[in-house]
């Protein structure tokens, strides 16, 4: 008869220890040989493009993806080089990043934070992506940025306009080239004052989520500072499709300006409804009734059709800009795809080049080295004029475009015209500005995942 | 007072869409006993019939402009609609302008066919299955239809304007004796309301005053006995499915100018319409119409700024709140029949 050394208690104990070991999160630990998370060891480096490929922002995501692919082509020495030829930094040689060929994987954010985190996590863990970029929503950007911080990966934000991305939710591993709500408010206010005077009563309709709140706050504070009165600000559910019951009371409120803090489908529908209700043909307080859309996008303007005519808003970039960088990008993108790029495409293309350039200048893919190279980096030639990647909050500071829906568009792409290029100084704020999370907001420390 | 009148108008307008979708939904439930979660998708397909006809009428050939340049500085390609060549520019433009009303005629055969194929091809196999199975399969179908539309038309909303004569709004208040500029209402929304009233009236008249309708009503009351009388009730019910699909489709066609159609507009309406059916009473046609207008009006009132100041968030829950209250006090819904969904 053999005697076993196993006891019930012993088995349970070792089982518990083994179980705990298995249950330990295996993600986000760089292999012992690597100096940092997902250090590229072979002849290539993998970037993770996390964009909405399904869901309501799929068209925007598709344009972002086109731009990413174009950027990869240019980085690897293909095509005409696009904005690499006009970029003030000459570190990029067209031989990949640090001599390694650029490859990419894509994920589908579905414009949902949980799906976006899951796809980013998969690209980091399974595909070994050394940088994650993308997003068409601030909720997604903030969520993925936090994940990248935790993982020790650089996050180059795509289309995200909420103050929080580089405000209260800023992270040491996250960088945003796109402008934000504060900048929209600051850029729009002087133009609105010039066009509509300083004695106006504004009525806000605001999408009931993070981006809506920061945009409302930004536009309210800049218009109130120039003498406008805010009559009312009503939150509308994100899922709302028919805005008639929110629009109808606007005329009775005595307001003479309607500010639509809406984006995407919300913006298309609320603007269409407002125009249907004849707001733009009315005269209130002896003035023409006006509508303002703080954040414009060409793709959304297309959805709203003729309703955008004459309506002011702001945008990060527009293909009709005539600087050398914009012209090079429009030519390169237009020849490849047959139509001009959107602002989402522009910002994602630029972010990819900026990341690659920072790696070259830092001489490493290590996120902390890359972050250091991006912090305080001043550049030009990427379509927005002289730009600063501010070290304190990882936000780009550059000129902001105030645009207006074109009265006589010549094509489906020619919907907006640039009214004013607001200089960067006018939209710059202190890193501890109250709208940006105040003194409590901090980047934390860089994480390289080692 | 004027604010209340305005919200009643808004409510009637919203209610028209709810009522039209709910009417088809309850018609299908009342006849075939199927809970059709793909009904919202039929509404969406209707709206895309308007988009499609508008594209067909706008079918163009390309000419190269000698004077204008495109964004790359190359000669601009100008699209010229064929209808300009066939009927002259003025008549061609009128055709293009009237695409949405014309789509009513275009959509009816398409929607009848879609309804027929859907019922014969898929749903009939689930008659004897539990309601949960029917909900799953029709919900799945809705997602498939949605993705098909997205594949062909993209994810962005597509502007589909009403004819020029119906653009803009008119001063409804001045007509009723209020101060001018207090009650302004868009023409097309009034057209929508009138259209919905006509369709609802037509469906009721069809069921009430035709032999076909009489048989269908008899079948709804007692399917077995009607079958025993030698009447092929299944065939008639299939036709009713087609009619219900057409009603949802027409609601969608006329809705296209109100909000630019996009691929998920059906889902936005589906849940609300389902609540409408439940509140009205499963299988009750007048109940669906009544509840549609009732919930539309309540929703409009709940989104007034004055109400939201007192009860923030009421706009988001009002419909469900009312549904809970009605189901607690009248479990069969407002006009539900005994024995429906109670076994």
Rounded to a whole number of angstroms, the distance from the CA of B147 to the nearest CA of chain A is 9
Mean pLDDT of B85-106: 93
Contact status, residue A371 vs residue A359, Cβ threshold 8 Å: no
Cβ within 8 Å, pair B258-A252: no
pLDDT 10s digits, B113-125: 999 999 999 988 9
User: Which domains are seen in chain A, by residue range?
Assistant: 44-179+319-398 (3.40.50.2300), 182-315 (3.40.50.2300)
- B190-211, pLDDT tens digit by residue? 999 999 999 999 999 999 999 9
Q: What is the model's pLDDT at position A26?
A: 42
Rounded-to-integer distance, Cα A75 and Cα A350, Å: 12
Q: For residues A279 and A291, is the Cβ–Cβ distance under 8 A?
A: yes
Confidence grade of residue A58 (pLDDT, cut at 50, 70, 90): confident
Nearest to A277 among B11, B68, B184 (CB): B184
Considering only the beta carbons, identify the residue of B259, B260, B264 that sits closest to A56: B264
Sequence-distant (≥ 6) Cβ neighbours of residue B288 within 8 angstroms: B19, B22, B23, B25, B26, B276, B277, B280, B281
Which of B72, B159, B161 lies nearest to residue A334, judging by beta carbons? Answer: B72
Q: Do B248 and B43 meet the contact criterion of CB atoms below 8 Å apart?
A: yes
- Structure confidence by residue, pLDDT tens digits, A408-443: 887 778 889 999 999 999 999 999 999 999 999 999
Contact A288, A312 (CB under 8 A): no
**What pLDDT, on a 0 to 100 scale, did the predictor assign at position A83?**
96
Integer-rounded Cα Rg, in Å, for chain A is 24
pLDDT in tens, A137-184: 888 999 999 999 999 999 999 999 999 999 999 999 999 999 999 999
- Say which range, A9-23, A355-369, B130-144, has the weakest mean pLDDT: A9-23
Q: What is the per-residue pLDDT across A372-391, written as a single tens digit (0 to 9) for each?
A: 999 999 999 999 999 999 99
Q: Output the average pLDDT for chain B.
A: 89
B303 to chain A, any CB pair closer than 8 A? The answer is yes
Phi, psi of A114 (to 5 degrees): -70, -40
pLDDT for res A96: 95
Q: What is the 3-state secondary structure (H, E, C) of chain B?
A: CHHHHHHHHHHHHHHHHHHHHHHHHHHHHHHHCCCCCCHHHHHHHHHHHHHHHHHHHCCEEEEEEEEEECCCCCEEEEEEEHHHHHHCHHHHHHHHHCHHHHHHHHHHHHHHHHHHHHHHHCHHHHCCCCHHHHHHHHHHHHHHHHHHHHHHHCCCCCCCCCCHHHCCEEEHHHHHCCCCCCCEEEHHHHHHHHHHHHHHHHHHHHHHHCHHHHHHHHHHHCHHHHHHCCCCHHHHHHHHHHHHHHHHHHHHHHHCCCCCCCCCHHHHHHHHHHHHHHHHCCCCHHHHHHHHHHHHHHHHHHCCHHHHHHCCCHHHHHHHHHHHHHHHHCCCCCCCCCCCCCC
Are the beta carbons of A360 and A98 closer than 8 angstroms?
yes
**pLDDT (average), residues B182-190:** 87
Return the exposure string of A318-327: e unless at least 16 CB atoms fall within 10 Å of the residue's CB, then b.
bbbbeeebbb
| Token code pair at residue A96 | 């990949």
Q: Any idea which of A15-24, B212-221, B309-318 has the lowest mean pLDDT?
A: A15-24
Helix-strand-coil split of chain A, %, nearest 5 = 40, 20, 40
Q: How many interface pairs between A and B have CB atoms less than 8 angstroms apart?
A: 130
Q: Predicted confidence band at A12 (pLDDT cuts at 50, 70, 90)? A: low
Q: Give the residue from chain B lying closest to A244, CA to CA.
A: B10
A154, two tokens:
């650089």
| Whether residue B341 has pLDDT greater than 70 | no
Q: Which residues of A touch B188 (CB under 8 A)?
A: 276
Higher per-residue pLDDT: A28 or B9: B9
Contact B182 A303 (CB under 8 A): no
User: Model confidence over B231-266: pLDDT tens digits?
Assistant: 998 889 899 999 999 999 999 999 999 988 999 899
Of A206-220, A257-271, B67-81, minimum mean pLDDT range = B67-81
Q: Which of A125, A177, A124 is nearest to A344 (CA)?
A: A177
Q: Percentage of residues in chain B with pLDDT exceeding 90?
A: 50
Q: Tokens 């002011």 appear where? A: A312
Higher pLDDT pick, A3 / A416: A416
Question: Which of B44, B71, B313 is the best substitution to test chain A (most A C-beta atoms within 10 A)?
Answer: B71
What local confidence, expressed as pLDDT, does residue A409 receive? Answer: 84
Strands B184-186 and A283-284: unpaired
Q: What average pLDDT does the structure give for chain A?
A: 90
Distance from CA of B279 to the nearest CA of A (A): 21
Q: What is the pTM of this model?
A: 0.85
CA–CA gap between residue A161 and residue A141 (Å, rounded): 10
Q: CA A252, CA B184: separation in Å to the nearest integer?
A: 10
User: Residue A304 pLDDT more than 90?
Assistant: no
Could you tell me what percent of chain A has a pLDDT over 70?
93
Q: Are A176 and A166 in contact (CB under 8 A)?
A: yes
Helix axes B99-121, B233-255, angle to 10 degrees: 150
pLDDT value, residue B169: 84
Per-residue pLDDT for A21 more than 80?
no
pLDDT at B70 (0 to 100) = 80
The pLDDT of residue B172 is: 77
Q: Contacts of residue B72 in chain A, CB cutoff 8 Å?
A: 330-331, 334-335
């Amino acid at each position: 008869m053999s005697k076993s050394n196993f006891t019930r208690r012993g088995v349970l104990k070792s089982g518990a220890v083994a179980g705990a070991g298995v249950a330990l999160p295996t993600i986000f630990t760089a292999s012992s040989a690597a100096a940092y998370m997902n250090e590229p060891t072979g002849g290539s480096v993998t970037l993770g493009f996390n964009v909405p490929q399904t869901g309501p922002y799929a068209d925007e995501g598709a344009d972002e993806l086109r731009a990413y692919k174009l950027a990869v082509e240019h980085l690897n020495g293909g095509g005409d080089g696009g904005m690499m030829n006009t970029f003030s930094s000459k570190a990029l040689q067209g031989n990949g990043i640090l001599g390694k060929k650029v490859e990419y994987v894509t994920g589908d954010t579905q414009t949902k934070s949980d799906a976006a985190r899951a796809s980013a996590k998969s690209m980091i863990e399974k595909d070994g992506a050394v940088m994650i970029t993308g997003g068409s929503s601030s909720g997604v950007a903030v969520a993925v940025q936090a994940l990248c911080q935790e993982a020790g990966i650089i996050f180059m934000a795509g289309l995200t306009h909420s103050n929080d991305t580089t405000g209260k939710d800023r992270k040491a591993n996250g960088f945003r080239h796109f402008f934000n709500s504060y900048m929209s408010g600051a850029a729009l206010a002087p133009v609105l004052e010039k066009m509509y005077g300083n004695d106006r009563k504004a009525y806000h309709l605001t999408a009931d989520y993070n981006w809506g709140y920061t945009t409302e706050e930004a536009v309210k504070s800049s218009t109130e500072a120039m003498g406008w009165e805010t009559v009312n600000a009503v939150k509308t559910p994100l899922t709302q499709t028919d805005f008639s019951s929110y629009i109808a009371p606007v005329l009775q409120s005595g307001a003479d300006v309607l500010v639509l803090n809406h984006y995407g489908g919300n913006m298309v529908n609320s603007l269409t409804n407002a125009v249907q209700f004849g707001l733009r043909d009315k005269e209130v307080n002896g003035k023409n009734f006006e509508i303002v859309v703080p954040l414009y996008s060409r793709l959304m303007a297309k959805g709203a059709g003729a309703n955008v005519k004459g309506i002011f808003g702001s945008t990060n970039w527009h293909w009709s800009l005539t600087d050398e960088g914009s012209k090079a990008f429009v030519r390169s993108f237009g020849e490849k795809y047959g139509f001009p790029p959107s602002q989402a495409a522009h910002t994602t293309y630029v972010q990819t080049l900026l990341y690659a350039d920072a790696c070259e200048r830092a001489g490493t893919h290590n996120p902390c080295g890359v972050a250091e190279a991006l912090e305080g980096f001043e550049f030009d030639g990427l379509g927005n004029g002289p730009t600063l990647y501010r070290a304190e909050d990882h936000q780009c500071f550059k000129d902001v475009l105030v645009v207006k829906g074109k009265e006589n568009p010549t094509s489906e792409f020619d919907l907006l015209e640039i009214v004013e290029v607001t200089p960067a100084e006018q939209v710059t704020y202190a890193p501890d500005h109250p709208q940006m999370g105040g003194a409590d907001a901090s980047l934390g420390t860089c994480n390289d995942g080692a | 007072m004027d604010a209340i009148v305005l919200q009643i108008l808004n409510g009637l307008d919203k209610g028209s869409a709810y009522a039209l979708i709910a009417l088809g939904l309850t018609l299908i439930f009342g006849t075939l006993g199927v809970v059709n979660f793909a009904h919202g998708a039929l509404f969406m397909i209707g709206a895309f019939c308007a988009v499609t006809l508008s594209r067909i009428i706008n079918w163009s050939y390309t000419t190269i402009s000698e004077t204008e340049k495109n964004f790359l500085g190359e000669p601009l390609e100008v699209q010229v609609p064929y209808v300009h060549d066939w009927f002259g520019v003025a008549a061609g433009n009128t055709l293009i302008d009237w695409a949405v009303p014309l789509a009513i005629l275009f959509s009816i055969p398409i929607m009848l066919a879609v309804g027929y194929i859907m019922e014969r091809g898929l749903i009939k196999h689930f008659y004897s299955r539990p309601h949960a199975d029917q909900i799953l399969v029709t919900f799945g179908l809705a997602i498939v239809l949605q993705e098909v539309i997205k594949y062909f038309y993209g994810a962005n909303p597509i502007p589909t304007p009403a004819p020029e004569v119906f653009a803009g709004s008119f001063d409804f208040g001045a007509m009723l004796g209020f101060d001018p500029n207090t009650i302004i209402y868009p023409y097309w929304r009034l057209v929508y309301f009138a259209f919905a009233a006509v369709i609802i009236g037509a469906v009721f008249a069809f069921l009430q005053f035709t032999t076909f309708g009489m048989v269908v009503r008899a079948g709804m009351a007692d399917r077995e006995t009607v079958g025993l009388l030698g009447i092929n009730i299944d065939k008639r019910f299939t036709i009713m499915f087609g009619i219900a699909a057409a009603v949802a489709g027409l609601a969608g066609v006329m809705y296209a100018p109100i909000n630019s159609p996009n691929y998920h507009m059906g889902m936005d309406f589906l849940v609300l319409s389902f609540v409408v059916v439940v509140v009205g009473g499963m299988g009750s046609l007048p109940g669906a119409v009544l509840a549609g207008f009732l919930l539309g009006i309540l929703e409009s009132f709940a989104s007034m700024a004055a109400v939201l100041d007192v009860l923030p968030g009421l706009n988001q829950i009002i419909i469900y709140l009312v549904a809970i209250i009605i189901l607690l006090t009248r479990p069969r819904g407002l006009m539900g029949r005994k024995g429906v969904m109670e076994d």
